[in-house]
Each structure stands twice: as structure tokens, then as C-alpha cells.
Chains A and B, each alone.
Chain A
Amino acid sequence: MEKMIKLIIDNKLVEVPEGTTILDAAKEIGVEIPTLCYMHLGDMGIEHKPGGCRICVVEVEGRRNLAPSCNSKCTEGMVVNTHNMRVLNARKTVLELMLSDHPFDCLVCAKSGNCDLQSIAIKLGVRELHYKGEQSTYKVDYSPSIIRDMDKCIMCRRCETMCNDVQTVGALSAVNRGFESVVAPAFEMDLEKSTCTYCGQCVAVCPTGALTEKDHTNQLIRDLADPKKIVVVQTAPAVRAALGEEFGLEPGTLVTGKMVAALRQLGFNSVFDTDFAADLTIMEEGTELLDRLKRHLDGDKDVKLPILTSCCPAWVNFFEHHFPCMKDIPSTARSPQQMFGPIAKNYLAKQMGIKREDMIVVSIMPCLAKKYECQRDEFKVDGDPDVNYSISTRELANLIKQANMDFLGLPEGEFDNPLGESTGAGVIFGTTGGVIEAAARTAYEVYTGKTLETVDFKALRGMEGIRSAKVDFDGLELNIGIAHGLGNARKLLEDIRDGKSQYHAIEIMACPGGCIGGGGQPLHHGDSSILKKRAAALYREDEGKAIRKSHENPYIIKLYEEFLGKPCSELSHKLLHTHYFDKSTDIEIE
């Protein structure tokens, strides 16, 4: 039985379990105390409360100084004032101090309108900065996916927590001391030179414009405006489950049709679906999985198991930096985005009668690492990238608004073919557990020769960071592991490295929740229930599809008949597979 205690907040009595913070107790009675650095992603088990910004301070009678409500525990009989003049004076002054070391870039800042610092400044009514002085200023760091503009950093340290504690990548940490302190990679090297995986979780939690994505919108506008260019687009599954939020729709509303209509109206020559390429990925990766499995069951000691999924570029970066000794364990299959590219620029281009250099392939992704993935050298042919560049969900929403489109009033559009048809298996790629479930649906039928009775593999679904399930392949028990968040991925990798892993196949996604929680998605501002709702939307779209197994996609079947031959054929290997690099010694210190 939890011990309950009573206290008074703003003259109201509230009863809470012992150990509750003042911030949470206040919420119980509808008193909202403003916060800034505090971040609680409850479902992910992430609570970040360093008590550094000092915005959430409140008066506790009998206490000499003001208390940070985010990590001060309530006590019996405590009397708290959250908004009296002493607190307001302090809170406003603290905010003024923060703003006095912040650039006045709101007019052109990527976060304007979506910035926690701006929101608080508006809320507290700051009109004048009384304390002016030196501003700490740094060189802007441009990486393929993320832009670090540390002039705007307020030292909330959320990015540090995500990068070190959640993702266990360790690319960001506080360096230097006092006024000169800043969050940066070691030796303040550029992000591109560090172990950064571009997962973008830092961008997803940054309350200001200090961490933003590299914006390709202007490039897209120019390409779409150029009548000489053929621009085709592919859309990731996770986008359709979240795009609506940018237009006021409830999290978890599917907007597939409107998304397609909007893209068509923007002027793309063809609107295709990455989910199609996801089905293709299942064909290639599923074949690879079964091949390794058969050899293992036949007694081959050299075959590498478990097989790891490889569709997540941040995850690929992660093991290239931290576990390069295991770079022959992941599947050699490319990600759906990078499978789409070569198919579009070879198969489709030939059909359209154009040269590959004349086609621009753009992807709409929930992910920031995809921007980086596009420009990896092995994904280019004579300098021409298979996928030219990637646009995040947020960027697309902004462009739709800039084009003055009435998104909510758009009719339901349909994807073009031959690269627009997808199965339910392709759709669920966007959430944790989805890739491996899609693979299981195909692998089961190919391996056993039987038809699946229930298409849903509910055991593979859920939000816990590390999950495992045994799937019955008609007598053969397949041991499957799933991890999302790189910290969880690290645990599974260490088990593999130490020879302790019992899994046959592991699905790994770098972002908490999977792609639906990607660094390019609409900001959740700390509300992790949004991620659950987005995942549910994808499973709903899956259920609504007539065809739910990748190998039954008629356009996939046609692609192999007309072009590729069969999965893992020589041509398939050339276009749809890749290899990995040892990046462990790549760090450059200037």
C-alpha cells in the first residue's frame, strides 16, 4: 500500500502517494507549472530531470530558496506557491537570462512556432531583456542529416540523455565549463566526424532550434519547378500515420490518401510507395534468412546466425562504429528506400524511356538518417545517387502549408504503379516488430509450403524495448528477438558478441517505437502515448488491406518475372544488396 500524503498547492488541498514530485502533484489538481528542460517519456522509461533550467521553480514555505518542482518530492503538510510574485519575478528573470544568451532569429528559425523556448517567452510575457551582455557563439555544424547551431542551445541536456543513456551512442556530451559550456561531440569535432548515427533522437527532443534537420525543401521546390526534371517520390509507411498531426488531426489518424493527393498536387511526376520496396525487401531478406537457416539446420558451422535486419541506416551506422567485428552478421539486403532507388532508376526509367541521370528520386521519410543514407558512396552509380535526397515528415508538412493547400479538404488519392502497390506486410515496417512480422509471414509460407492461418503475429508486437517471441514454423521453432532504441540494440549485440544469443533473427530499429518515433516526425514534445497511437494506425491499415503478405504482391511478382529473375539473383544482388564498413577508427580530431 502506498503511503498517501496531503499538501497544499496554491491554496488547494491535494493528496498524493509519498514520493510524488511537486510538478506531478500540481498536475493532479490542474495546476500547470511551466517546465523547459524536464522531459518524461513515460512509456519509454525515459525521465530527464536535471533541474538545470530553473524555470519550474516554486516557493515552498519554510524553505530558504525556491525549489525545482520537477524533482522536489512532496512532504506531508508542505505548502507550495507556484505562481506568486516572488516566483514570477524569479522565473521571468531566469528566462530573461536564457534569452540574453540566445540569438534573435525567430523570424527565420526552423523552430519558430514549434519552439518550447519561444512558447515560454510568450507565456511569461517577456517584453524587454534587462540583462544584456556577451553571447556564447559557435560555428554552425552541418552534417548530412543534422544541423547543430549551438548559439541556440539552452543547456537542457536532453540530447545528451537521449544520445548517451537511451541510444548509448555517446556522440554528444557537455564540454567546457560555465558560460563556455556547450553540448558537443568530443573535442568539439564535427558531428559528421564523430560516432553519430544520425538517428535524430536529439533533434526529436531539442526544445529550441539548436538541433534541427538539414532541410531539403528548397532543393525540392527547385526540382519540382524545373520542367526538364522528372521527379518521382516514394513515401515511407510511418509518414502516413503521423502527417495528419501537423494539420490538427488526432495522433493515429491515417492520412494515406490525402498524402498522395498532396504530393501529386505539389507536382511530382509519379507518386510511389516505399511500402512497395518494403515488400521487395522482404523477398530479398526473407530468402537470405531462409538460406542461412537451412544451412544452419544442415549443420553448416560457418553460417552466421542470428540474421539482423538492416533497413535502418542509423542502426547500420551504429554497428559499423561500435561492433565492426560483426559486420557480416546483418542481412546484406538494402533498406526499402535504397531498394526503391535502383528499381526506379533502372526498371522504371527504362519503361519511361529516360536516362537514370534525368530522374530525381525523392523520399518522404520519418527519419533523419535517411538523408545521410542517400549520399553513401556505395548507393551511387558514377556519382549519381540511387535516391537523390530525403524529405522528413515535418518538411513535407511545411511545404504543403507553404503551397497553401487545404490538406484536410483534399480528396483521397491513389499511388501510381508499378511501384505503388503494397501489402499489409509492407505497411507495418514503420513500427517496432513490423519488419520481422512481415518477414515471418513470407518466410513461413516459403519454408513450410503451407498457408498461414492467422496472418497476425501478435507476439511480435508491443512497445517494450527488448522483446522476444518464438514463432512456430510448422514444427521448427524460430527464435525471434526485437529491439528498438540503440541502447537496447547494444544489449542484444553484446550477447551475440559474447556467444550468448539464442535468436535466429533479430529486428533492430534505432528509434524508440520504431520509425514512427523517428527524428523527422512531428514533434511529440514529450508525449509518448502519441507513438503508441501511430503504431496502432499502421496495424489498422495492414488489417484493411486485401493482400497482407509481401510475396503475394502482384507487382512484386511482375518485377521479378520481368526484370530481377528471382530473389538474391545476380541482378538482385547488384542492385538490391550492399556491404558494410569498419568505421571504428574513423574519428578525426583536428
Chain B
Amino acid sequence: MHILICGGTGCRASASETIQNNLQETLKIKGLEDEVQVVMTGCFGFCEKGPIVKILPDNTFYTEVKPEDAEEIIEEHIIKGRKVMRLLYTDPEKKEVVSDSKHMNFYKKQIRIALRNCGFINPENIDEYISRDGYAALGKCLTDMTPRLVIDEIKASGLRGRGGGGFPTGLKWEFASKNKADQKYVVCNADEGDPGAFMDRSILEGDPHSVLEAMAICAYTMGATKGVIYIRAEYPLAIQRLKVAIKQAREYGLLGNDILGSGFSFDVEMRYGAGAFVCGEETALIHSMEGLRGEPTVKPPFPAESGYNGKPTNVNNVETFANIPVIINKGAAWFNKIGTEKSAGTKVFALAGKINNVGLIEVPMGTTLREVIYEIGGGIKDGKKFKAVQTGGPSGGCLTEKHLDTPIDFDNLIAVGSMMGSGGMIVMDEDDCMVSMAKFYLDFTVEESCGKCTPCRVGNKRLYELLNKITEGKGTKEDLDLLRNLSTVIKDTSLCGLGQTSPNPVLSTIENFYDEYIAHVEDHKCPAGQCKALMQYVIDPELCVGCTLCARNCPVDCIAGERKEAHVIDAASCIKCGTCMDKCKFNAISIK
């Protein structure tokens, strides 16, 4: 029997390690530690319902487990064979208990390829990886396939870069293989920088060997002998898992000299980021590796021609790599059948925001936004109304109700004014202000801009200042024209992807939520009620009894009124702290 515990960040933060300890302790006490294995795995994805504990072989999926539940799970389920009903997932619509994740709406439409091992293996045990076809693809390439055949297979699969660019991976490998040099490099871009994104982190924490195997296969196709994983320093657990995996792979001769006796040598080293989102851009990443300032340089030349130390270098994203071994093992045709015509395979998304089932999902390309939000995501939280879904992080745009039936793929999302990005998907409801949202993303890109080119360095700052002005009620209609023109020019003239996409949140919200912008600049109102400066606290003279409680507690003394007479708030001095509303016992104060 196996007890699998989710080791993803959400569950860890909710004491899943303690659950693991408690389970192991209890098993020891019961003398069962040799018969029941407790394994901490990678992220199961159902973060909303974590901590997750799964029992094998009967596939019981326990949710919202607490450390004190450990004893009961052992007593009832392991020893007596009776499921602990209260820990099982209840479908909110059918109100039925679902014990196997295969039947849950959250999982039904998912096809987990990149995340295939997350939640199934102990990522610190190479044997468990191998037992699930791990390193079989590398073996197949080295013994049965020429580099050319491997490239053709990856091309035929239709795999496109999962880091945001969506460039055909096979083609990228082909370019790198064509350039001759005395030294070539394979680089894994693990600098996942989108705020809140954790797709790559989950893969690295839950299945690090998949990336190592893929890098070795890539190196084989292009004639590289050295690989580098550039990983952000903010991922200490992923770094730890990779170090263990590299060590184990070396011990098994799967990294290093003459791998599997094939004559092919390849080894990997790690480099750490230093807190710069821009270093996720491949040329900036390479310069950071070279010890220079992490600033992008103009392409061409592309890294395949001249990259790290001027040598041909292939840079791919973590999730892109994670797909490679499966494509080799199951074949390009199998992979290509999944997804849409131009976007084969699946995509991992970090589903977040005002949605019931927050978590990590992997769906075939072509799944519609509606399916993701309402079926997998379980609909909008607290029964509120859907307003928008933001995809692609700071590089992406907002889509509305009318876009919900868009099948998700690279080109469709671009066609409707957004982009896939690295897989962030944030759902918004009627209480989210779209202007504020655009401002939030610009705040991020202003902070992260490297400063090399004028449009991004100064332009984004000006975009932010305009948005801020608007959320403070000082914007004008002319400002909207300025926003549009400036956004267009920044996109048109920026040196790298950061500046070329940073205005997207602005452009897509102005396009899809123009009325909301108009409300801010002409009526000086925030329809969602989020922009504090545009809110007015008002005392209803009919309900106010003049108890003076609000006036006495106001930190800026802006409430006037005699005892037993209706009080009035001076809007000009009001700092909108909300104290008066909290104190009023007569519900006389509301926000307009």
C-alpha cells in the first residue's frame, strides 16, 4: 500500500510535511512501516482542496486533510479498509461524494503529460522515475535514433515552446544542430517570472528528472556536451530537488561521460537568477550566465547561432522539456493528435483568482475557456458574476464573456487580443476593477524593466503614471488616447519581449472594458468599487440618528454634525479608511 502526500507549496504551507510525519509515526506505532510506504510527491494540482492525501492502490483521494487526521486515516482506511468519508471530496453541484479523482470535474478534462509524474512519484527517487518509463526515451534516442530522426520526430509532434513564445521546438533544435562550433550548449530556462506562476516550479519540484532527460536528448540532437539550468534563486526546493536528481543521474551513468555506453557525453550545471524577471528573456538569461548585466541584446543573431560565450545555444522552457520524453516514447503522431491543428499537446495552467477550484491544471489545447472556468474550475466563487479572465500574465490580455467559447491555443488567444504566455490564468468577477488590474501589471513591468531601451524604461513608467492618475480620479478622456498611442508605440519599438508585451493588459482592457475606463475619467467612479480614491463614503440622513460615534472615531475629523442630528462626511478630506462604516450601529453609512 502507498500513501501519497502532496508536497506542492500550497499543501506544504498547510502542514503537509507534518501530515507525513504523523502518518509515519502512526505506522511505526502500529508496526506497519514495512508494509505501507508514505511518499511525498509533487503537486497534485487541486490546490483549493489541499492538503491532498491519496491512498494506493484503491485511488482514494482525500482533501483538506489536517495533521490530526493522520491517526484516523491509518486506523480506519489502512487497517480497517474503511474510507474516511468526511475527508472525501464532495461535488458542490451534485452534492455527491467522489472518492477517485478520475471522476472529479476538476480532473475529468485534464490530460497530464508534462505533469504526468507529479503526484505519483517521490521526486527524490530516480528509481521511481525510471519505473514510469523514465530515461527510456533517452535510451531509445541513443541506441535507435540518429539526431536527425529525433529532430524530425519533435518537429512532427508539433510541440511549440511553452514559455510564452510558442516557437516550434523541433525547428529551434534544428537551427541549433545546423551551426558548427567546438562547444555548444543546452539551456533550460527555469526563471519562471510571471507573478503567481508555478507551473515550471511544480514540474521541477515534482519531476526533475523529466527535464534532465529532455536536456540530454536535446544535446544529442545538436551536438552539445554541456547543459545549464538557469533557475531563479527564489525556488530553493526546486533547486534542492534538481541537485539530488543530477547527483542520482550521474551515479546511474545517465549524465556524464559516455552515457549508456553510446559514446555521447553530456552533463549539467546549475546557475541561479538574482531576482530579475527580465532574465527570463533568453538573451538576457544568457548574458546573466556570462556574468554581465542581465540585459537583452538585439536578435538576430539568435542564440542558436551565437549564444552563451558566443557559441550555438538552445534555450527551452521547463514545460517544453517536460514534454520531450513522452513524445519520444509514445510517438509524434500520438502527441500531435492531442490539441488543435496548430497547437499540439497540452498546456499547464495556474488557475487562480475568483474561482472555486484554484490550482494547477493541464488541459489539451482546444479546451475552451468556458470548460476550464466552469467545469474544471468549478465556476465563480461565492456565486458572483464572471467578468474577465486574464491569460499570459504581465504579457497577456483580458478576455470577456463573449470570448468564453474560444478554444485555447496559441493563435486563437492572440487573435482575441491576449496570449498564452507561460500559463497564468486569473479569473475576475464583478468586484475586480479592470483599470486597477492593468495598473497592477504595469507596476510589475515598471519594476522589472531592465532599463536599456527608451520605450520600456520610460514608456512603461508613463503608462503606469497615467493608469494611476485614472484610478485616483484625476484622469481625462484625452488620457485614454494617450494610453492607446503610447501602448502601441511601446509595443512597436521595444527591444525585447518584456516591452513588446507589457502594454497588452492596457490595450486589451481599454478594448474590452472601455466603459469602465470612461466611468473612471468622466464620472470619476469605479464601477467595481475597487479604486478607493473614487469611492465616496456617504451617510444616509434618513438612517443616521446622530449618535456621533462615527465622528468621534474618524482619524481625520472629517465628519460634522450635532448630537441627534444627521451627520455629514466631508468627501474632500475623507481618507476612505472605512472606520465610520465599521462603527455605525445603524447601517447608515455606505460606499457610493
**Is A71 an interface residue, CB under 8 A from the partner?**
yes
Q: Is the CB of B455 within 8 A of A94?
A: yes
**A273 CB to closest chain B CB, in angstroms?**
47
A contact residues around B587 at 8 Å (CB): none
Q: Is the CB of B451 within 8 A of A131?
A: no
Given A65-B493, A100-B462, A54–B451 Cβ distance below 8 Å? no
**Among residues 259 to 297 in chain B, which have CB atoms less than 8 Å away from a CB atom of chain A?**
276, 278, 293, 295, 297
- What is the bound-complex CA distance between A155 and B449, given in angstroms? 14
**Is A226 an interface residue, CB under 8 A from the partner?**
no
Contact pick for B450, options A73, A154, A178, CB 8 Å: A178
Can you list 29 contacts pairing A with B, beta carbon distance less than 8 Å?
Answer: A51-B453, A53-B453, A54-B455, A57-B492, A65-B491, A65-B500, A73-B300, A93-B455, A93-B459, A93-B485, A94-B459, A94-B493, A97-B458, A100-B458, A131-B458, A131-B482, A131-B486, A132-B462, A133-B461, A134-B461, A134-B465, A155-B457, A174-B295, A177-B276, A177-B448, A178-B450, A179-B457, A180-B451, A181-B457
A contact residues around B298 at 8 Å (CB): 51, 68, 71-72
> How would residues 50 to 75 of chain A score, 1 for a CB under 8 Å from any chain B CB and 0 otherwise?
11111101000000011010011100
- What is the bound-complex CA distance between A90 and B495, given in angstroms? 13
> How would residues 318 to 344 of chain A score, 1 for a CB under 8 Å from any chain B CB and 0 otherwise?
000000000000000000000000000
A contact residues around B579 at 8 Å (CB): none
> How would residues 108 to 133 of chain A score, 1 for a CB under 8 Å from any chain B CB and 0 otherwise?
00000000000000000000001111
B contact residues around A219 at 8 Å (CB): none
Closest 4 CB pairs of A and B: A181-B451, A178-B449, A97-B458, A133-B465
- What is the bound-complex CA distance between A86 and B492, given in angstroms? 9
A contact residues around B486 at 8 Å (CB): 93, 131
| Total count of chain B residues near the partner, CB < 8 A | 34
**Is A98 an interface residue, CB under 8 A from the partner?**
yes
B contact residues around A66 at 8 Å (CB): 492-493
- What is the bound-complex CA distance between A90 and B489, given in angstroms? 5
**Is A89 an interface residue, CB under 8 A from the partner?**
yes
- What is the bound-complex CA distance between A89 and B453, given in angstroms? 17
**Contact-residue bracket for chain A:** 35 or more
Q: Taking CB as reference atom, which chain A residue is nearest B294?
A: A177
> How would residues 434 to 456 of chain B score, 1 for a CB under 8 Å from any chain A CB and 0 otherwise?
00000000000011111111110
- What is the bound-complex CA distance between A100 and B459, given in angstroms? 10
**Is A285 an interface residue, CB under 8 A from the partner?**
no
Contact pick for B492, options A55, A65, A134, CB 8 Å: A65
B contact residues around A373 at 8 Å (CB): none
Q: Taking CB as reference atom, which chain B residue is nearest A92?
A: B489
**Among residues 170 to 219 in chain A, which have CB atoms less than 8 Å away from a CB atom of chain B?**
173-174, 176-181
Interface of B is mostly: helix
**Among residues 132 to 191 in chain A, which have CB atoms less than 8 Å away from a CB atom of chain B?**
132-134, 154-155, 157, 173-174, 176-181
Given A53-B454, A93-B485, A178-B448, A133–B493 Cβ distance below 8 Å? no
**B166 CB to closest chain A CB, in angstroms?**
14
Q: Taking CB as reference atom, which chain A residue is nearest B451?
A: A181
Q: Is the CB of B452 within 8 A of A52?
A: yes
Output the residue of A132, A134, A178 with the most chain B CB within 10 A.
A178
**B441 CB to closest chain A CB, in angstroms?**
15
B contact residues around A173 at 8 Å (CB): 293
Q: Is the CB of A179 within 8 A of B458?
A: yes
> How would residues 371 to 386 of chain A score, 1 for a CB under 8 Å from any chain B CB and 0 otherwise?
0000000000000000
- What is the bound-complex CA distance between A97 and B463, given in angstroms? 11
**Is A279 an interface residue, CB under 8 A from the partner?**
no
**A588 CB to closest chain B CB, in angstroms?**
24
Q: Is the CB of A131 within 8 A of B492?
A: no
**Is A101 an interface residue, CB under 8 A from the partner?**
yes
B contact residues around A134 at 8 Å (CB): 461, 465
**B283 CB to closest chain A CB, in angstroms?**
11
Q: Is the CB of A177 within 8 A of B449?
A: yes
A contact residues around B297 at 8 Å (CB): 50-51
A contact residues around B457 at 8 Å (CB): 155, 178-179, 181
